[in-house]
């Protein structure tokens, strides 16, 4: 399969510096490479001192690792960002409307736009949420929309993260690091700020408090604990918002409210930003073996006594099989054509699609519908014959567990190496806050970069790194 030429976000396809990068490239060319190498080492030391780590499961080596950070920013023009923002907002509104519909009237199923089995037989569909409308009608309070780029004006949504999207702490720390090391760059480039995200998150969560809340709503972050892969982020966000970081054993149901233990007794909570999965949220309603959740919290939630962000059951909106219906979902709930396109997707649960995928495995990317973190996937063009044969067996045994997509020519952004600048593939996760007061999209997001030459896998758990993302003022 012939690949299109790869679009480089600094050099385009012809090598001339694109306008968003002109000021940066002039600065870079005037810098001493040895100074930049020293700055790269300084950045790594800053991350180490700050404790910016993630945990790796199932590995023999140390559990905690630093996420590699590259000092060359990814730069997006204000005009480009305006289009992305409109598309992201449209998509997030549609996702929220879709969740309200499938847990209530199910009009999209009645209209025949999505097969009923895609909902009823989906492991991410939560029957406990049928007939439940969260406070303010908001299901997805925090959303991460993963985007990839293939050309100057071609952006695609790779996936939607509607459960507990992670990575915002790295976005904030990347910016803080760049501001500390290269203040002169921010004096010459008009970069839109991201540092107000924690305050915006706190306001957005408070605006979603239930009617039973009185006075200033009490917000807390619920974490599974220090062994979770994203624990650094849980602690970071609680600290930045000025709210309590709690674990399940710190909470209990008291007089129909969820309350947290304090030095002066139990104090009611109005909003919980939970970073644990549905199945572990409430041992009385879900997994009885769970030690991470709060017994009875779902009963309080259903009675309107607490806001849980994101709402239980939102996982069905980022299921990769449902993703393939997102163009129909956007059109159904907004009456508009999608501004941001999906990557073309084959649903392996359908025989005709499965036959095509099996015949073209070496050219396709195949993903588990509930997979994440770069695990459980096959990248056909870089896979060995043995890996393709093994995946063929998996796919034949459980076809409904997979979707497939073409291998896109993902854009590249330069990274700084000992030999100078070198292109590497990237994606982008913008972060969106949703409340009854509106939708707030932070300008930029988390750029993840595949540090291995030619690699398309950007996940930190698979050897990827991160960059600061600049959105310029136009």
Bridge-based pairing state of the strands 219-222 and 244-246? parallel
Among residues 92, 68, 218, the alpha carbon closest in space to that of 143 is found at 92
Does pLDDT of 19 surpass 80? yes
**Whole-angstrom distance between the N-terminal and C-terminal Cα of the chain?**
39
Q: What is the pLDDT of residue 57?
A: 44
Output 464 or 270, whichever has higher pLDDT: 270
Q: What is the pLDDT of residue 89?
A: 98
Q: What is the pLDDT of residue 63?
A: 52
Q: What is the pLDDT of residue 58?
A: 45
- Establish whether the linkage from the previous residue to 310 is cis, with ω within 30° of 0: yes
Q: What is the pLDDT of residue 402?
A: 92
Does pLDDT of 65 surpass 70? no
What pLDDT digit, counting tens, does each position of 231-267 carry? 989 999 999 999 999 999 999 999 999 999 999 999 9
Q: Is residue 31 within 8 Å of residue 437, measured between CB atoms? A: no
Q: Is 106 exposed, middle or buried (0-12, 13-18, 19+ CB in 10 A)?
A: middle
Q: What is the pLDDT of residue 364?
A: 94
Phi, psi of 323 (to 5 degrees): -50, -40
As a whole-number percent, the residues of the chain with pLDDT over 90 amount to 80
Kindly state the average pLDDT of the residues 189-215.
Answer: 95
The Cα 53–Cα 47 span in angstroms is 8
Please tell me whether residue 155 adopts helix, strand or coil conformation. strand
Q: What is the pLDDT of residue 1?
A: 38
Does pLDDT of 52 surpass 70? no
What pLDDT digit, counting tens, does each position of 450-459 carry? 998 888 778 7
Retrieve residue 259's tokens.
């309350």
The Cα 396–Cα 398 span in angstroms is 6
Q: Which residues are 40's β-sheet partners?
A: none
pTM of the model: 0.92
- Delineate the domains of the chain, giving CATH numbers in brackets: 19-343+408-471 (no CATH), 345-407 (3.30.1490.270)
Dihedral class, residue 321 (left if φ above 0, else alpha if ψ from -120 to 50, else beta) = alpha
Q: What is the pLDDT of residue 454?
A: 83
The Cα 245–Cα 156 span in angstroms is 35
């Amino acid at each position: 399969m012939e690949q299109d030429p790869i679009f480089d976000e600094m050099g385009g396809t012809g090598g001339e510096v694109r306008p968003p990068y002109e000021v940066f490239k002039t600065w870079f060319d005037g810098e001493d490479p040895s100074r930049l190498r020293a700055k790269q080492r300084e950045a790594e030391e800053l991350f180490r001192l700050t404790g910016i780590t993630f945990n790796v499961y199932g590995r023999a080596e140390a559990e905690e690792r630093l996420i590699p950070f590259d000092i060359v920013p990814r730069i997006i023009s204000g005009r480009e960002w305006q289009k992305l923002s409109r598309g992201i907002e449209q998509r997030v509104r549609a996702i929220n409307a879709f969740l309200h519909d499938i847990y209530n009237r199910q009009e999209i199923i009645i209209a025949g736009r999505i097969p009923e089995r895609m909902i009823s037989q989906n492991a991410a569909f939560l029957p406990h949420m049928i007939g439940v409308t969260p406070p303010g009608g908001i299901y997805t309070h925090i959303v991460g929309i993963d985007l990839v780029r293939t050309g100057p004006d071609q952006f695609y949504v790779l996936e939607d993260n509607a459960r507990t999207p992670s990575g915002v702490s790295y976005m904030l720390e990347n910016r803080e690091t760049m501001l500390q090391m290269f203040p002169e760059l921010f004096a010459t480039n008009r970069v839109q700020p991201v540092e107000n995200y924690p305050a915006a998150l706190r306001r957005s969560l408070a605006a979603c408090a239930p009617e039973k809340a009185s006075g200033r709503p009490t917000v807390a972050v619920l974490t599974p604990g220090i062994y979770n892969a994203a624990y650094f982020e849980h602690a970071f966000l609680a600290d930045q918002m000025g709210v309590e970081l709690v674990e399940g054993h710190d909470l209990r149901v008291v007089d129909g409210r969820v309350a947290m233990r304090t030095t002066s007794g139990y104090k009611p909570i109005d909003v919980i930003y939970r970073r644990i999965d549905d199945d572990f949220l409430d041992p009385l309603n879900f997994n009885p073996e769970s030690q991470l959740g709060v017994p009875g919290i779902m009963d309080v939630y259903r009675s309107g006594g607490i806001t849980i962000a994101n709402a239980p059951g939102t996982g069905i909106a980022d299921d990769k099989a449902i993703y393939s219906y997102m163009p129909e979902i956007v059109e159904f709930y907004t009456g508009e054509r999608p501004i941001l396109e999906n990557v073309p997707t084959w649903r392996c649960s359908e025989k005709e699609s499965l036959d095509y995928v099996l015949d073209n495995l070496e050219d396709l990317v195949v993903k588990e519908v509930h997979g994440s973190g770069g695990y459980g996937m096959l990248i056909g063009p870089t896979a060995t014959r043995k890996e393709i044969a093994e995946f063929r067996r998996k796919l034949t045994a459980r076809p409904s567990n997979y979707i497939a997509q073409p291998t896109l020519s993902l854009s590249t952004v330069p990274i700084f190496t000992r030999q100078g600048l070198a292109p590497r593939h990237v994606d982008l996760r913008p972060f969106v806050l949703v409340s009854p007061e509106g939708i707030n999209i932070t300008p930029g997001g988390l750029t993840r970069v595949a540090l291995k030459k030619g690699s398309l896998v950007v996940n930190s758990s698979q050897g990827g790194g991160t960059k600061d993302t600049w959105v310029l003022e136009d």
